[in-house]
Chains A and B, each alone.
Chain A
């Protein structure tokens, strides 16, 4: 064990001094905004107008307004749809399938497949969104429309008429690699002997997957579900670049809703109440995640 207790004032000062710069930065720019969001959410603070100068405490009125607002409830619902279809289902299925495929011994060119799947994740999100603006272009020359045209389907104005479906597909595309990385690591930990023994005992491939492999990587699946939910609830740039929350609010998820309240409508109080609800959700999942990790280490 390398770590030891600090001895004497000098060493205590070293520890404090070494930790201070990082903790100050985290405190001011990460922790304080969370605490302040809580405070702002009970005021009628706006960036403009009379309440910009003299904000009043309004208690839980913002939360009442939010929960009564159709816009907020719709944004909440859309976020759920976005998370469930793009992350919980889409990325999970494709990520697990690709991890299983790349785990096979008889598959060649693993580095090539892995690199291709990794590409969408590594580029900046604005480039990813920009690339999809061409893919989803609404004329019959748009790439996706040309592909569905091969099957005789008429061109679709993706970002106008099917905006939610579009951003779900784009987000699946971007996040497959994250699931693949996690599940590949988990599969490495499954002893090959287990699979062999099961196969010798006559297990079918399906049984092998559902009765052996999946239960063995269950911790990784739980971990993935927690992390991907956190990551997907908070997706902003990808959606904002492609649709800016539109058309007609069709892709306004919670992240977009919070941004618009504060920086488009300048309603800091109301926006902060939405922030707090979002934070409560994300940090609640985060606590489960940290508890799981603590149980493991």
Chain B
């Protein structure tokens, strides 16, 4: 079953000969709505951006009287917060690698072989995507504790990876479906084994898809808050999501400049990565709805 890797059938018949919209009187209202909505969506970030370069930053949105990068310098020289960012990188990076390896293998098997119960397995995997961490945190904590992985990078990495796997497997399977089997068969004729052909031929051809899976997994793990809230207890393993929360909630004196600078550093990677995966967004949002399980 062929699956389009682009974002939905986006380019459906945009004919230039089309006559003008008959409701163009409503156009100013449409613009008014869009402008209002855009302001609503963006204004909260305005404070973060402005306060991060304002040496006199406060809790309120204000135009800086002067602009400097002292808050960013404080962040870079603060041993705790740079450690938090590093921890987030280790956890998100480690879980992304694990997700790619395991979902590529599983996606390949689901794409290239039919076997009894495959459809049930596919939809079972989809159901695991719906299981909310916020409902299962207590048993999850006990399981991780049983495995002696509480407050470890390894524990965070495997739990975060498991959370990203359902989407990753479905996307991988879809991307592998787009790589023609003939190419692989040609390689077998040349004596390559299944495993070699899978990694030498299919993986590179599905590379854009694999990259998208990696970025989605990274973004989700990078932003995760609840998992480290229950699994991480020591400050030298705290990721930035929890670090930001603690600095905001439990300190008497909040350094607004520092926290907004950290927020910028924390959110910029996800914004950049989102731009890269934008065309896969619909697929990831409605996983399964736009691709076949056949």
Contacts and interface: CB of A to CB of B under 8 A. Distances in A.
A149 interface: no
A26 B134 contact: no
B60 A134 contact: yes
DSSP class of A's interface residues: helix, strand, loop or mixed?
A: helix
A232 to B, nearest CB: 10
Interface in B13-61: 13, 18, 20-24, 26-27, 30-31, 33-34, 37-38, 40-45, 47-48, 51, 59-61
Q: How large is the interface on A (under 10, 10 to 19, 20 to 34, 35 or more residues)?
A: 35 or more
Nearest to A289: B130
Contact of B134 (A11, A97, A117, A255): A255
B222 A290 contact: no
Interface string A26-65: 1011111110110010000000000000000000000000
A18 B159 contact: no
A25 B159 CA distance: 8
Contacts of A235: 134
A241 B177 CA distance: 41
A31 B135 contact: no
B87 interface: no
A22 B249 CA distance: 37
A176 interface: yes
A130 B123 CA distance: 37
Nearest to B168: A22
B189 to A, nearest CB: 16
A205 B23 CA distance: 7
Nearest to B162: A29
A98 interface: yes
Contacts of B113: 3-6, 11, 14-15
Interface stretch (B74-82, B204-212, B262-270): B262-270
Interface in A246-297: 254-255, 258-259, 261-263, 268, 271-272, 275, 278-279, 282-283, 285-287, 289-290, 293-294, 296-297
A182 B286 contact: yes
Contact of A2 (B180, B194, B219, B241): B180
B13 to A, nearest CB: 6
Contact of B266 (A127, A141, A287, A293): A127
Interface string B148-190: 0000000000110111011001000000010011000000000
B45 A30 contact: no
The 10 closest A-B pairs by CB, nearest first: A124-B223, A234-B132, A29-B162, A131-B44, A2-B181, A286-B130, A18-B109, A116-B38, A237-B225, A36-B139
